[in-house]
Every structure is written in structure tokens, then in C-alpha cells.
Amino acid sequence: MAKNVNLKKLISNMTLEEKVGQLIQLNAVSFSDSAAEITGPVQKWGIPAEWINKMGSTLNFSDANEMITIQKKHLENDRNGIPMLFMMDVIHGYRTIYPIPLGLAASFDPELVYECSRMAAKEAAAGGVNVTFTPMVDYVRDARWGRVMETAGEDPYLACVMGATQVRAFQGSDLSDKENIAACVKHYAAYGGAEAGRDYNTVELSERVLREYYMPAYKACIDAGVKMIMPSFNSLNGVPSIANKWLMQDVLKKEWRFDGVVISDYNALGELKVHGIAPDMREATKLAFANGCDIEMMSNGYYEHLCTLVREGVIDEKKVDAAVMRVLKLKKELGMFDDPYRGADPEREKALALSPEHRAIARRAASESAVLLKNNGVLPFSKDVKKVAIIGHFADNNEIKGFWACHGKNEECVTVAEAVRAKLPNAEVVTAYGCAPLWNDKSTEGFAEAIEAAKNADAVILCLGEPQTYSGEGNSRADIRLPGMQEELAKAVMAANSNCAMLIFNGRPLVLTDVNECPAILEMWFPGSEGGNAAADLLFGDSVPCGKLTMSFPKHVGQCPIYYNHPNTGRPKWTAEDVHQAYASNYIGCGNRPLYCFGHGLSYTKLDYEAMELSDTKMSAEKPLTVKITVKNSGSYAAKETVQLYIRDLFASTVRPVQSLIAFEKIHLEAGEEKTVTFTVTEEMLRFYDASCKHVSEAGEFVIFTGYADHKYKEAKFFLE
């Protein structure tokens, strides 16, 4: 079929079973070469071979070769000649892995995010991927939840910017271009609001909070043209998302006018029974389809019941036709009727994977995502050191790619020790494991070797963190301190040698309170394929840290959920000190503020915020406000700085946050250089949802400041008329 294929005519020639087949997605293992090899749901559900040939999409295949094999076999057996869609979780890279999204967002650099996503799109397209299940733009406040690693953190504006950037990068300006793939935004809605930070848990939120914090990023991705959306597993205010009429019909379809493809999450229809919303798969099918779920992923509701529901008159076949049209339209936009294999090319897939160009992008991304939490003059280390001790589980460990790393491999990641040895060929580099980072491993067997190595070194690099499997889907933690005996190891090593820097590898904010006496702490996240090289660049001054935190690091897990843009109470704590204040909203023994807050991140150079100038003290819808912020690099290193702009609405009809990020810009400053960043503040940027859930701005006084979260460098006041 050519690109001018008539989709309406094609649908009119399809049987009901063929139409329903377009709405079913199974794992690639279901499309094996012979009936004898059929496994998993195909075998469990008793799906005959003729039904398999009708299926419209698959996921979780291995490479371009498998894609081509499955597609070829499918087309040989599909009388309509409709190609299958091939989907994959390309979350932070396909084969060349860059930092986890929480880390990449810490770069505060949309251009870098775009570049990384384009790299992933090219590799994935060559591997046969047509659709990626990204971006994940769930708004988060609780570091206990393992999937914070896939998000942009605790600020809704940042999530909007990063999510929309990824959509544009993956999809490009022409979806039929073989280097572009369709994006699927997830998880709609408020999956990140899981109670107690426990994955898949219930979410109870007011509509006002939903609209103001949790939903803007989904809408931003839709406005950016995202082709697909995935409802979340969780129940939202008592109704699972995929069966939630208000969410799926009233907001998504009617208010936001989303006309793309809706795909369920893995077995989400089956989980409607477990939730207690549907007594059986027939009812689950009816609920999900009625609320707009086009493609069912990895459950058997549509296969077993959708045709029957149509023939019984419960579901109008015209609605099935409309769902099929959305799926076929996406295939046509991707150019799959012209070339069912699209960009799938085994040779190109191999050539792009971990190419020098792609490794360079991943290395820069890992460097600019790293956040210097603390530095008492230790970093950067001199390259003239004679002996370096690298201590800890991640010292020479390549398990730093992170969860959801698609086809990335641990053995293809550069370790810290490998990178330091390459950077300092004349230095003696010793490694000591120290201890395992497992929560239930209390052994101190490796302590003596680690302490001895530290004593005899000119510089010590502590490489600590949590295992890759401690964050990501299904991996919530009640205790988010460094697991195992790592805190004890760190204290022993620091006592042996104070010329020590700590690298943290992790998928979430951790409680670092008990190791915060370390002279220097560099947050690396799970940095991906080039993580070791990026770490060495930063440690020895070839790169200057410029990342800023996208989530607050609590002092204690008991502070969770903790987030910078919280509303005031009627009895706020008026002092910043960590002392208990009677009859105020605060904790005994801990204080309210995090150890490290949103937007925090140090540099090796001295950055002075010299001035902030407002064009006026009054603004209106017709008259925006111009804000000019002057920053000078007074230090000796060239560096990048993210200039952040915050507001506080002092009086409004609903309680407003104590601060909200409204704009940012990342700039490069040579040593001694001064630059002025200009922001335009519009009335739209001051809007919020009132008690009636109307999106409004209200006249009154505002504070505007630059700095980060609670740390104000320069501030002023203005009035909205």
C-alpha cells in the first residue's frame, strides 16, 4: 500500500475480528516462528494462530533483526497487509545510555535534553522501534517512590519544559522521517502522587491540586503534538485512571481535545478486577473501551470480549472503527504503509550504538546532570596526585546505567576506576570494595582494606549509593538512607583521610544527613554509559559542575513527602534553625527544611548575582514585566549557571505556595565575564486555580526573586493590576 491508502475504505473491508486485532498489543515473544514456541499469554489465553496474525502491535523485542522477522511473517499472513507497530521503553537511551530523567532534568538544559532524545530516537529507529513509551512527566513529591527516577522532579513548570522538549525531539517535524519515532506520554494522571510513596498505590487529590501541579505536564506534551498517551495504573479519587470518565473523556478528549491513540499500561484492564471496579474481564473491557482506551496492552479483555460486546449491541461498532482509525492513522503518519520496516536496519543499529559521537553526548549529559551538593575546597583534585584510593561498591562497578535502560548493557558502562586510570596514567590508582550496598548486608569484612587504602592515598574518592534495582518501577523504599553499611564505611574512610570526595550513584534523593560531614559530595544519579568518564572529568577539573537539584534531599525520611513549592500554614515556623518551635507546623528534632533543596547546586567558580532590575513595579495583562538579572563569574573557572526566577503571590483567594519557579535560563560565563539575563513575566505566568478550579490571576502584590528555593540572592516586589 502507498501513502495515499484510503483508511476508511480499508476499515470498511475489515472483519470485526480484524478490527479488534488492531487494538491488541502482545509481547514480541508471542510472535515466534512456530506454534510450538508460543508461550506466555498466547498459550495461557488459548489465542489461535489466525488471531495472532491480526494483532496490530507488539512491544519488548530485541533488535532490528527481530523486528524485521516479525513484521515479515505478519505481512505474509495478514490479508489486509497492515503493518504492525513496534513499541519500546526508550526512557533514557536505546543502547547508548544517558542519565536517568531525574538526573538529566538536573541539567536545566532543554537543548541538551533535546540532543539526548534525538540520539535515542535515531538509535531506536534503526533498531526497529516505531513508538517509545516516553516522556514520563508524572509530578512527584515523595522520594520513597522508586519511579521518581523517570520524572523531572518536584516542579510542574520544569516537567512541562522537559516533557514537551522530549516529544519534539523524538517525533521531529515530520513523523514519516525514518529517524523519528512517535512518543507516548505517561502516566495519565497523577501516578506520582501514590500514597506513602508506594508504587501502584491509591491517589487522593483535590481537583485544584491536580490541575495546578499534576496535570500541566501532560497537557504540555499534548500541546507539543504527542501521538499517544498512557493512562496510569493507580486509582484517582476512587476510580482507576483507565476507567475514569472524568479523566479520560471530560478532560482528555473534550477539554484538551486529544485525538491521538490511548494505550493501556501493562495488564491495566486485568487490574480493574483486582481494584474491585469490574467483576470480570467482560466488564473491564466495556469500561476501558467506553472511556477511550484504543489499544489494550498485555491482557485478554479485547480478544475475549470486544467482538461479543459489539455483536450484542453493548458497544457500537462505529466506536471500534474510530479507535482503529486512530491506530491506522498513526501507522500512516509513520510511513509504515510505504515501508513497513521503516528505519529498521541491523547495520545502522550497530553503527550508531555507542558510536564515538553518541558516547560524547552521553558523557556531556552525565557531566552536566551531576550536582555538586557540597565542597569545602577539596574539589577539584589536582592531576598531580601520586596515589588515588577509590573506595566503595561503585568504585570499579559498571552497574550505573540505571533502571529502564532499554538495550543498554552494564559491561558497556565506563567505571570510575577505569576513567581515573585513563585520566591519570602516571598515578597509582587502588580500589577497595569496602562493603555491599544491600540493606540487609551488615558485614564489615572489607573495611580494613578500605581504611588502609585511604590512609596511604593523596586523594580519596568514595563511590557510594543504592543498587540499580532499588529504584524504578515497583522499587519503593521506606528507608532512603545509604543502604547496608555504607554510612559506617564512609565515616571510617573520612576519619582515615580528610582529603576525600564522595560520589553518589542513585535513582532518587537519598537521606545523606549522617555522611554530610564529607568535605565534598557530588551527586551523579545513575549517569549511564559514560558515567565514569563524566565523574573523572568533574573530579579533576576538566568539567565544572553545573547541575541543580530537581528534587529536595530530605534530612530524614520522616519529612517525606517534602517539596519546595509548599503552601504556608496558618502557623508556619518562623525560624530557619532546626529547633522545635512550640505551636507551629514543624517536627521535633529535625526541622522542616531539607538537607539540600530544589534548585541547589554548587560550582568550582564564584558566581555573583550583582543586580536584579524590574522594568516597573506594576504590570497587567496588557503590560508584561521585564526582569533583568546580572551574573558575574568572579572565579577562575569558566562555568555554566542556571539563573532561576521565582515568584510568591502574597495574597490570593486560595493559599499559594511560598515560592514557584516561573522561568530559568542556563548561561555560560568565562572567568571574569558578566552577563545579563532578561526574563519577560506575563500575566499568564501568574495564574492559578481558584477554589472553583477556574484558571485565573488576581490583582495584588507579588515577590519576585532569583536564587533557588528558599535561598534568595536578589528580590523585589511588584503589583499585578
Q: By the 8 A CB rule, do 515 and 462 touch?
A: no
SS3 57: strand
For 294, the 3-state DSSP assignment is coil
Least Cα distance to 677 among 606, 613, 604 occurs for 613
8 Å CB contact between 683 and 621 = yes
Largest Cα–Cα separation, the chain: 80
**Within a 13 Å sphere around the CA of 195, how many CA atoms are in the beta-carbon half?**
10
Contacting residues for 195 by C-beta, under 8 A, at least 6 apart: 201, 202, 203, 204
Quickly list DSSP for 591-645: -SS-SB-TT--B-SS-EEEEEEEES-SEE-SSS-EEEEEEEEE-SSS-EEEEEEE
Sequence-distant (≥ 6) Cβ neighbours of residue 133 within 8 angstroms: 87, 88, 89, 90, 91, 184, 186, 230
Residues 587/604, Cβ–Cβ less than 8 Å: no
Strands (E), 73-205: 85-88, 131-132, 182-188
Give the up-direction half-sphere exposure of residue 552: CA atoms within 13 A in the CB hemisphere.
25
CB atoms within 10 A of CB 51: 17
Q: What is the 3-state secondary structure (H, E, C) of 266-283?
A: CCHHHHHHHHCCCCCHHH
Contact 551, 102 (CB under 8 A): yes
Per annotation, catalytic residue among 109, 155, 265, 396: 265
Active site includes 265? Answer: yes
**Pairwise CA distance, residues 428 & 447, whole Å:** 20
Q: Tell me how far CA of residue 97 lies from CA of 254, 409, 454, in angstroms.
A: 38, 9, 32
What is the rounded distance in angstroms from the CA atom of residue 334 to the CA atom of residue 328? 10
C-alpha distance from residue 412 to each of 283, 545, 575 (Å):
47, 24, 49
Rounded Cα distance between 590 and 181, Å, is 48
In 478-606, DSSP assigns E strands to: 500-505, 520-523
Identify the bridge partners of residue 706 per DSSP, sorted by sequence position: 645, 714
DSSP conformation letters of 192-227: GG-GGG-TT--B---HHHIIIIISHHHHHHHHTT-S
Q: List the grid coordinates of 137.
A: 512527566
Output Rg (C-alpha) for the chain, integer angstroms: 26
Q: Which residues are catalytic?
A: 265
